[in-house]
């Protein structure tokens, strides 16, 4: 064990030094320019303004400061936050009934800290939410427990898992309890654009009536299937896999109040509690195509391929859940943030940025972004000077990066490492990752602090990622390196680089590692805003 520790510590040191050197030389060579120009995709959004003619009624009482499209996790939290800061907020949500979905059920402790900062922590009360204290990781019949480093926090600080719809309903109620927040049911059909500035939205109520709502700032939070983001960003969506969701009843998790990740074949299987009596199981199915639920292929797949890999304590409940037949699926989408800063509008939540849900990071990123935006908007009394505001808010894209890019990169990289592969180098990397985390101490605390959002630092992420790779190589080469082992080791390192560097590149090297060198970082609030 001691020898493993020494290899591990050496691996961390070497990886940090090598990475610092690489980043330094990369950033010297490549001057990444962050465009400060205002880019509006006029073609797409002008269609919106054309039909914004006289036949559509203007919503009554439109003295709103902010329109929020969508009252999901991001929209509801944002509505409360801006409402509390005294803004007149108009939220338009397609369906105000309690959602029933398999997404957004595990809030990492870092996300809970953001709820605290926003004063929304009571939204996880009274919904039978379960505290989560860490993860259990399973591979080939072995398992290891990874606790969140929560020692220095109050006892209420932990992860929370719950029914997503209950959580959202609590946040919607809380937002609409503020007199200056108006929550309305309606479907936003398009953005209202005039000369490159977004002035509001067109929306339809359930009865088919069409309205226009106007406000100096429109924040689009219409979620992962966003229809409205097209004119506000360059959406490059990838769908590496799907999650298949089941609810297990009448069983206990091997580690109570922990998430369980099975490093399965072909890819990971997750379990976590969503109430005092229910356990969510999410089975990752790689690729674009899913076995059909309708014709029984999915049940067959779950019983023959997945069930044998489920921990024995959960096996019977897993089979019972498949037999019961309430099988839900969702695409696992990932999309780096790539906004066109547009006067009068902003994207937030999944409409803006997505990452693989393996690490349960989506809500934490959304809530963390809301804190950044709230702090930026706070000094502004008036939001009417759209272009000055847009210019100022470009700093948002850099200020959010340390947290968002760490969580995003970890999700993408961990998903790749955790998938089974016939390639011996990838197999070594996966095993090295499991063994590295099993070492405990700094080897598990560092990565779990990243995953939980408690300490999301990009440099720490890269250091641990390459430490895992170097640890894997060290074990291959010590004590007897053979040519074959050297070859596998070299492929392991190149494979690891091939996983993480493209993700970091998409996140933006400079914004991620040197945010203070991005000019927009220093934008100050516009001074003269006219009323
Ligand atoms: C399978 C899966 C599992 C996940 N698990 C987790 C997890 O455990 N932990 C975690 O932190 N994250 C998880 N995520 C990610 C998380 O669900 C999202 O990051 C989060 O829900 C984003 O919030 P949002 O407000 O952007 O979108 P949503 O919560 O989806 O809200 C969007 C809202 O907009 C409304 N809307 C859409 N279009 C319109 C329109 N035109 N007009 C009006 N309203 C509209 C919708 O009705 C909806 O209420 C998971 C994602 C997936 C796919």
Q: Tell me, what CATH number does 105's domain have?
A: 3.50.50.60
The CB of 404 under 6 Å from ligand 1? The reply is: no
> Quick one: how many helices (H) and strands (E) in the chain?
15, 19
Number of domains making up the chain: 3
Query: Does a structural domain hold residue 352?
Result: yes
- Closest ligand 1 atom to Cα of 348: 26
Does one domain contain both 311 and 364? no
Ligand 1 centroid from CA 223, angstroms = 5
Instruction: Give residue 4's pLDDT band: very low, low, confident or very high (50, 70, 90).
Output: low
E strand map for 103-141? 106-107, 130-132, 134-139
Does one domain contain both 76 and 213? yes
Biggest distance spanned by C-alpha atoms of the chain: 80
Does one domain contain both 95 and 180? yes
Q: Is 90 exceeded by the pLDDT of residue 184?
A: yes
- Closest ligand 1 atom to Cα of 223: 27
Pick from 21-25, 448-452, 461-465: least confident: 21-25
Q: Report pLDDT digits (tens) over 102-157.
A: 999 999 999 999 999 999 999 999 999 999 999 999 999 999 999 999 999 999 99
Does one domain contain both 183 and 101? yes
Q: Is 60 exceeded by the pLDDT of residue 47?
A: no
Average pLDDT, the chain: 91
Does one domain contain both 61 and 118? yes
The CB of 241 under 6 Å from ligand 1? The reply is: no
Task: Give the per-residue pLDDT at 63.
Answer: 87
Task: Give the per-residue pLDDT at 6.
Answer: 67
Ligand 1 centroid from CA 202, angstroms = 21
Task: Give the per-residue pLDDT at 42.
Answer: 31
Q: Is 70 exceeded by the pLDDT of residue 436?
A: yes
| Domain assignment of residue 370, given as a range | 42-127+162-236+335-399
Which positions ≥6 away from 273 have C-beta within 8 Å? 130, 132, 161, 253, 257, 279, 280
Interface confidence: ipTM more than 0.95: yes
Q: Report pLDDT digits (tens) over 363-390.
A: 999 999 999 999 999 999 999 999 999 9
Which positions ≥6 away from 278 have C-beta within 8 Å? 247, 248, 249
Instruction: Give residue 218's pLDDT band: very low, low, confident or very high (50, 70, 90).
Output: very high
Task: Give the per-residue pLDDT at 34.
Answer: 33
Task: Give the per-residue pLDDT at 479.
Answer: 84
The CB of 246 under 6 Å from ligand 1? The reply is: no
Ligand 1 centroid from CA 421, angstroms = 31
Does one domain contain both 311 and 205? no
Does one domain contain both 242 and 378? no
Which positions ≥6 away from 526 have C-beta within 8 Å? 380, 385, 388, 389, 391, 392
The residue whose C-alpha atom lies closest to atom 39 belonging to ligand 1 is: 222
Task: Give the per-residue pLDDT at 166.
Answer: 98
Q: In a mutational test of the pocket of ligand 1, which residue from 175, 357, 364, 453 has the highest number of ligand atoms less than 8 Å from its CB?
A: 357
Does one domain contain both 202 and 77? yes
Domain termination site, one of 399, 417, 443: 399
Q: CA 494, CA 499: separation in Å to the nearest integer?
A: 9
Query: Does a structural domain hold residue 148?
Result: no
The residue whose C-alpha atom lies closest to atom 47 belonging to ligand 1 is: 94
What is the DSSP track for 229-296?
GGGTB----EEEEEEEEEEEES---SSTT-EEEE--SSS-EEEEESSSSEEEEEEEEESS----STTS
Query: Does a structural domain hold residue 147?
Result: no
The CB of 488 under 6 Å from ligand 1? The reply is: no
């Amino acid at each position: 064990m001691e020898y493993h520790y020494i290899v591990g510590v050496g691996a961390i040191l070497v990886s940090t030094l090598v990475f610092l050197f690489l980043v330094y030389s990369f950033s010297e060579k490549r001057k990444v320019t962050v465009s400060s120009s205002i880019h509006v995709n006029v073609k797409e959004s002008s269609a919106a303004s054309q039909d914004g003619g006289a036949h559509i009624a203007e919503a009554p009482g439109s003295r709103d400061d902010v329109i929020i499209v969508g009252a999901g996790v991001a929209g509801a939290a944002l509505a409360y936050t801006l409402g509390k800061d005294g803004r007149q907020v108009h939220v338009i949500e397609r369906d105000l009934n309690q959602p029933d979905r398999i997404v957004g059920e595990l809030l990492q402790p870092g996300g809970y800290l953001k709820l605290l900062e926003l004063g929304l922590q009571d939204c996880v009360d009274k919904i039978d939410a379960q505290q989560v204290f860490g993860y259990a990781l399973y591979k080939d019949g072995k398992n290891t427990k990874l606790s969140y480093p929560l020692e220095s926090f109050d006892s209420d600080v932990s992860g929370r898992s719950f029914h997503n719809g209950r959580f959202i309903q609590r946040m919607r109620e809380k937002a609409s309890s503020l007199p200056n927040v108006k929550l309305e049911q309606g479907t936003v059909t398009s953005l209202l654009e005039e000369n490159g500035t977004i002035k509001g939205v067109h929306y339809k109520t359930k009865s088919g009536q069409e309205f226009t709502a106007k406000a100096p700032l429109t924040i689009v939070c219409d979620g992962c299937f966003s229809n409205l983001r097209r004119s506000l960003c360059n959406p490059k969506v990838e769908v590496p896999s799907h999650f298949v969701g089941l609810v297990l009843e009448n069983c206990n998790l091997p580690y109570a109040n922990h998430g369980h990740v099975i490093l399965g074949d072909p890819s990971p299987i997750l379990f976590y509690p969503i109430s005092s009596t229910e356990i969510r199981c999410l089975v990752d199915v790689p690729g674009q195509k899913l076995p059909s639920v309708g014709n029984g292929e999915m049940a067959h797949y779950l019983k023959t391929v997945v069930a044998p890999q489920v921990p024995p304590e959960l096996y019977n409940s897993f089979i019972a859940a498949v037999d019961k037949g309430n099988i839900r699926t969702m695409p696992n989408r990932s999309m780096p943030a790539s906004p066109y800063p547009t006067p009068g509008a902003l994207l937030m939540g999944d409409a803006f940025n997505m990452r693989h849900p393996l690490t349960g990071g989506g809500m934490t990123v959304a809530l963390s972004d809301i804190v950044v935006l709230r702090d930026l908007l706070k000094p502004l009394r008036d939001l009417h000077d759209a272009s000055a505001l847009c210019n100022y808010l470009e700093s948002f894209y850099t200020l959010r990066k340390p947290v968002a890019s760490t969580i995003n990169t970890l999700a993408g990289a961990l998903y790749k490492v955790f998938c089974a592969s016939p390639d011996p180098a990838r197999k070594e990397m996966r095993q090295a990752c499991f063994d590295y985390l099993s070492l405990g101490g700094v080897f598990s605390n560092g990565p779990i602090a990243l995953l939980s959002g408690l300490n999301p630092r990009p440099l720490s992420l890269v250091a641990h990622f390459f430490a895992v790779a170097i640890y894997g190589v060290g074990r291959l080469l010590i004590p007897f390196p053979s040519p074959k082992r050297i070859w596998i080791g070299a492929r392991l390192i190149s494979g690891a680089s091939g996983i993480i560097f493209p993700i970091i590149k998409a996140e933006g090297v400079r914004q991620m590692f040197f945010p203070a060198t991005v000019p927009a970082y220093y934008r100050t609030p516009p001074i003269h805003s006219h009323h």
